[in-house]
Chain A
């Protein structure tokens, strides 16, 4: 019924759309510049002297650039950045492995069993998302002391894994519900146990949800500051990238030849990962959110 009227409307709308289009792009270009200025300053200032940074912050004169300060930051005795990367990667990998190993099976049980107590179990886990982790860290210190795990790598990894459980279980359980139960019933008839059914039939089908969670957990473990700072503590000598940056930068906050190169070394790996994986990051975040 509207087929006759449609073309006319379309031609009417074309013109204002185009003129609006240029305004839109100009506005977005200006916004992008504003978004990128701090990153531009971070990158160029890492190669400049203090005097050059303060006198000509925005301009770059190629003959004055030097990698001296970057080298100094990389070999800073207060904070060995390579060790920082290694420690952080160890934490990221352990938390991710443990998180999947623990959240996967429990989500499977919650998704496949309709009883009230399993719905309550899901609610219990999800309630964990409302608890600010900075608030939690104080009593956790005493729980870890009681267990003899305070200041240790296992203690930190276990706590950090716990923080990933609420959202992981929520996401995984929701995702498993979209996988037909007839698949695992067939495998069960063939004599596979529950664990076997989960890990070899259901788990491979959960890949998109798992990838999302791994990416989100990687960013949150890498960027966490308060938990490693308090649980590992300065006394343990274990620095992650963020606690190392804090140790290296906070005392010298006005010596920009320390600040900028150190910050650049801290963010470079994450930015590279983000640029390579940006599609997964953005779509993963989207998947996680619309199901919430």
Chain B
């Protein structure tokens, strides 16, 4: 009995907080998504799946969904490729490599909000780069004022700010590659390309999975950078799902509709992350077999 009380006193506080601040809110989200609540009225009406049906007709929400998926897909590929590429380049314990690692990583320390304001001052219509181009007599470039350019700029800044993390994760993975195998491959006359694809890459398989899942989950919730870099514009072209959810919930007072979008985003995030993890673990087993 006393032992049980001790266990409860160790597990209880964290569990209670977790349930109150996370499990119940997720349940509340599910419930609100079935209502037409505006955030004020005392008795919101239950409207069933109407919000979800409306979601499939909402051009704005569908565009935000595609924009988010595009950011996540392109961003995840770029982060992983650049992460691995640069990890191979700065692997090794020299002082110069240590310096390069810090330089590649530092933007990650800055808040995404600050990064967005900084880059909007650099890329904006009257920003630093365009000011410089004008002074050279060149045309102004629409980094943030043309819908396609703005989306590309947003992805570019996300990659600039984030790939240092992937570099660090791949560096950690490279430490686990067996030196004996690398040496054996070299002795057997394998080219560096063969060594990379037959020895290094298979050993990195678990780190590849971590990188893909982490990048995907992070990019699917892109919000702060949208607020400070593009404000969702021009003409809504850079509105992400998280941006639209908060906009609908707090500016449009459409909490039911916003909650339905939240539920869909949660399901897609968990679904994609688990799918990637499962596909990767099958790939890992294939390598071991």
Interface residues of chain A, those whose CB is within 8 Å of chain B, are: 2, 5-6, 9, 13, 24-25, 27-28, 31-32, 35-36, 38-39, 41-42, 45, 53-58, 101-103, 105-106, 108-109, 113, 121, 124-125, 128-140, 142-143, 147, 158-159, 161-162, 165, 169, 193-195, 198, 219, 222-226, 230, 241-242, 245-246, 249-250, 253-254, 256, 259-260, 263, 266-267, 270-271, 274-275, 278, 281-282, 285-287, 289-290, 292
Contact = CB atoms under 8 A, between A and B. Distances in A.
B129 to A, nearest CB: 8
A169 B14 contact: yes
Contacts of A103: 14
A224 B22 CA distance: 17
B100 A32 contact: yes
A-B pairs with lowest CB-CB distance, top 8: A223-B111, A139-B25, A105-B10, A286-B172, A132-B221, A162-B21, A139-B28, A54-B131
Given A106-B10, A143-B20, A195-B6, A226 B223 contact: yes
Contacts of A24: 89
A59 to B, nearest CB: 10
A136 B114 contact: no
Contact of A6 (B107, B112, B187, B242): B187
A130 B273 contact: yes
Nearest to A98: B17
B86 to A, nearest CB: 8
A102 B14 contact: yes
B81 interface: no
A138 B126 contact: no
A243 to B, nearest CB: 9
A38 B21 contact: no
A246 B168 contact: no
Given A134-B221, A140-B21, A289 B120 contact: no
A222 B111 contact: yes
B169 A260 contact: no
Contact of B270 (A130, A219, A225, A263): A130
B172 A278 contact: no
Main secondary structure of the interface of B (DSSP, over half): helix
A132 B89 contact: no
B45 interface: no
A193 B6 contact: yes
B221 A109 contact: no
Given A105-B11, A159-B21, A263-B117, A225 B131 contact: no
Nearest to B96: A25
Interface stretch (B46-54, B55-63, B147-155, B244-252): B244-252
A195 B224 contact: no
A132 B104 CA distance: 26
Contacts of A159: 21
User: Which of B113, B120, B171 has most A Cβ within 10 Å?
Assistant: B113
Nearest to A36: B103
Interface residues of B, number: 88
B182 interface: no
A242 B113 contact: yes
User: Which of B7, B106, B124 has most A Cβ within 10 Å?
Assistant: B106
Interface string B245-266: 1100110000100110010011
Nearest to B165: A285
Interface in B3-22: 3, 6-7, 9-11, 13-15, 17-18, 20-22
A158 B20 CA distance: 10
26 contacts: A31-B86, A38-B119, A57-B132, A58-B132, A106-B15, A124-B18, A128-B22, A135-B262, A136-B26, A138-B32, A139-B32, A139-B259, A143-B28, A158-B17, A194-B6, A246-B227, A249-B117, A253-B117, A253-B120, A260-B121, A266-B111, A270-B109, A281-B105, A285-B168, A286-B169, A289-B172
B176 interface: yes
A282 B221 CA distance: 23
Given A105-B10, A223-B110, A278-B102, A131 B17 contact: no
A158 B186 CA distance: 55
Interface string B85-102: 010011000001001111
B173 interface: yes
B259 A138 contact: yes
Contacts of B41: none
B224 A225 contact: yes
Nearest to A143: B25
Contacts of A121: 11, 15
B210 interface: yes
Nearest to B32: A139
